[in-house]
Amino acid sequence: MNLVWKLLRQHISIPQFVGFFFANLFGMLIVLLGYQFYRDVMPVFTSEDSFMKSDYIIVSKKIGMGYTISGRTNTFTPAEVNDVENQPFASSVGTFTSTEYKVEANMGVNGVNVLNSELFFESIPDHFVDAPKGSWKYTPGEHVVPIILPRAYITMYNFGFAQSRSLPKISDGLVGMINFDIFIHGNGHADRFKGKVIGFSSRLNTILVPQAFMDWSNNYFAPGSHSDPTRLIMQVDNPANEKVTKYIDQKGYEVEDDKLQAEKTTYFLRMIVTMVMVVGLVISILSFYILMLSIYLLVQKNSSKLENLLLIGYSPNNVARPYQLLTIGLNTGVLLIAWGTLYFVRDYYMGVIETLFPDIDSGTMLPAILLGLCLFALVSICNIIAIRHKIVSIWKRKE
Partner 1 sequence: MQTINLASVLPQVFQQSKDLKSEIWKQNVKFERGHLYLVEAESGKGKSTFCSYIVGYRHDYSGTVMFDDRDTKTFKVKDWVEMRQQHISHLFQELRLFPELTAWENVQIKNKLTNFKDDATIRQWFDMLGIGDKLDAKIGRMSFGQQQRVAMIRALVQPFDFLLADEPISHLDDNNSRIMADIMMTEAKAQGAGVIVTSIGKHMDLNYEKTLLL
Which helix (DSSP H) or strand (DSSP E) does residue 318 occupy? helix 316-356
Of 305, 328, 337, 339, the one binding partner 1 by CB under 8 A: 305
Which residues in 131-170 contact partner 1 (CB under 8 A)?
Answer: none
Q: Does residue 6 touch partner 1 according to CB under 8 A?
A: yes
Q: Does residue 384 touch partner 1 according to CB under 8 A?
A: no
d(CA 54, CA 260): 10
Q: Are 27 and 287 in contact (CB under 8 A)?
A: yes
Contacting range for partner 1; rule: CB under 8 A; set: 23-31, 105-113, 202-210, 307-315: 307-315
Q: What is the DSSP string of 172-188?
A: GGGGGGEEEEEEEEETT
Q: Does residue 12 touch partner 1 according to CB under 8 A?
A: no
Which residue number, 222 or 392, has a Cβ lying nearer to partner 1? 392
Of 3, 79, 352, 356, the one binding partner 1 by CB under 8 A: 3
d(CA 370, CA 347): 18
Distances (CA, A) of 325 to 317, 333, 368, 373, 374: 12, 12, 24, 17, 18
Strands (E) located in the chain: 56-61, 90-95, 97-98, 102-109, 112-119, 122-123, 144-150, 178-186, 189-201, 231-236, 253-255
Contacting range for partner 1; rule: CB under 8 A; set: 140-148, 193-201, 314-322, 342-350: 314-322
Contacting range for partner 1; rule: CB under 8 A; set: 14-22, 204-212, 304-312, 366-374: 304-312
Of 300, 315, 332, 364, the one binding partner 1 by CB under 8 A: 315
Of 14, 69, 311, 356, the one binding partner 1 by CB under 8 A: 311
Q: How far is the CB of 17 from partner 1 (least distance, A)?
A: 20
Contacting range for partner 1; rule: CB under 8 A; set: 19-27, 210-218, 276-284, 390-398: 390-398
Q: What is the chain's length?
A: 399
Which residues in 317-376 contact partner 1 (CB under 8 A)?
Answer: 318
Of 252, 313, 352, 398, the one binding partner 1 by CB under 8 A: 313
Residue among 19, 38, 23 at smallest CA distance from 281: 23
Q: How far is the CB of 383 from partner 1 (least distance, A)?
A: 20
Q: Does residue 79 touch partner 1 according to CB under 8 A?
A: no
Contacting range for partner 1; rule: CB under 8 A; set: 4-12, 29-37, 97-105, 242-250: 4-12
Contacting range for partner 1; rule: CB under 8 A; set: 23-31, 126-134, 139-147, 309-317: 309-317
Residue among 141, 100, 152, 90 at smallest CA distance from 121: 100
Q: What is the DSSP string of 137-206?
A: ---TT-SEEEEEEEHHHHHHIIIIIIHHHTPPPP-GGGGGGEEEEEEEEETTEEEEEEEEEEEEESS--S
Q: Does residue 115 touch partner 1 according to CB under 8 A?
A: no
Which residue number, 291 or 298, has a Cβ lying nearer to partner 1? 298
Binding stretches for partner 1 (CB under 8 A): 1, 3-4, 6-7, 10, 305, 308-316, 318, 392, 395, 397
